Amino acid sequence: MRFSPELVCHVAKMATVMSYRQVCHFVKEFYHLEITKDTVLKAVKRAGELLSEKENFAFAKEEPTKKINPKILYIEGDGVMVKSSDSARDDKRNVDLAHFLLHTGSKKIAKIVMFWKISMR
C-alpha cells in the first residue's frame, strides 16, 4: 500500500517521540488506517534517506554565474515535430520538441567549432 508523503512525514515525526507500536495505534485512531511497526520503520528510514540527500544537495550547489554584457548575444533554437499518440484515448497529435542555446560567439579549432560562454536555460 502507498501512503501520501504527508502521512509518511507525520509517522516519522511521531516515531521520534513514541514507540513504533504506539505510532500504529495513533494512526489507526486518527487516520483510520491500519499500519504495522514495519511500515513505521520504513517511513523512518525513508525520512533519513531524504534528509541525507538534502544535506548532500546543499553541498552540491553551484556558484552563481557572473553576468556579462556582450556586444552580440547569439540565440539559436531548433525544434522537431514528433507524432505521438495516447493509446488510452485513441488520441493522435503532434508534439513540438524544442531547445535553445545562448552564447556570445564561436571559435573554430581544427574541425571543431567551440562556443564561447555557453548558457543553456
What are the residue boundaries of the structural domains of the chain, listed by start?
5-59, 74-116
d(CA 89, CA 103): 42
pTM, entire model? 0.46
Three-class SS of residue 75?
Answer: strand
Residue with cell 508523503: 5
Structure confidence at residue 20 (pLDDT)? 93
Cα Rg, the chain, nearest whole Å: 26
What is the per-residue pLDDT across 62-102, written as a single tens digit (0 to 9) for each? 777 788 888 888 899 999 988 887 666 667 788 888 988 88
CB half-sphere exposure, 90, CA atoms < 13 A: 0
What is the per-residue pLDDT across 109-118, written as a single tens digit (0 to 9) for each? 766 666 555 5
What is the per-residue pLDDT across 40-73, written as a single tens digit (0 to 9) for each? 999 899 888 888 887 777 666 677 778 888 888 8
- Cell output for 3: 501512503
